[in-house]
Amino acid sequence: MMTEPRIDLMKNEFGARLAKRLFAVHGLLQQSGLSHSTQNLVMLRASQINGCGNCIDMHAKEAAAEGETSTRLNLVAGWRHSTVFTEEEQAALALTEEATRLADASPGVTDETWAQAAKFYDEEQLVALVTLIAMINATNRMAVTLNQLGGSYEPGLAAATINS
């Protein structure tokens, strides 16, 4: 297994510009009505499904830095069989799983899952949630393809990248 990144986006001029814009979309999503806690859970769950160690590392550490408990972070992968997530968070996680698993012979996002999410989120929040899921899936695919490894992320690094 390769232990070095194939390309360090931040050392590649075009890659750095692209990464900064991806982080800027994330910054815009932070300004939506979708709670930061829900956003962190969604990004962590999609990253788990996609096997993106870099993104799992980043989103678990950012969530912890924002006050998320280790119990909830440890149970994200098993959210259906735990008692620590609200119905609202469960709806977001279900939508995340269905939208992330499109290529896994999934029927896509079911009407039932959409209706459950629509019970808790208004239209702006739903747009933010769908965009967040799409963006984290794109980011996961880039990071896995470029062999961006998890383990060394420091909380706040993403925000520093946006602001640089």
Q: What CA–CA distance (Å, rounded) separates 50 from 57?
A: 13
SS3 103: coil
What is the Cα gyration radius of the chain?
Answer: 16
Predicted structure pTM score: 0.93
- Structure confidence at residue 148 (pLDDT): 92
Q: What CA–CA distance (Å, rounded) separates 54 from 48?
A: 10
Give the dihedral of Cα atoms 22, 123, 78, 135; nearest 10 deg: -10
Burial class (CB in 10 A: 0-12, 13-18, 19+), 75: middle
Domain ranges of the chain: 13-163
Q: Name every residue whose Cβ is closer than 8 Å to that of residue 104 and which is 6 or more positions away in sequence.
A: none
The single residue listed with the structure tokens 């602001």 is 163
CATH fold, domain 13-163, is AhpD-like (1.20.1290)
Q: What CA–CA distance (Å, rounded) separates 143 from 149?
A: 8
Task: Note down pLDDT in tens along the chain; length 164 residues.
Answer: 668 899 988 889 999 899 889 888 988 999 999 999 999 999 999 999 999 999 999 999 999 999 999 999 999 999 999 999 999 999 999 999 999 999 887 789 999 999 999 999 999 999 999 999 999 999 999 999 999 999 999 998 877 766 66
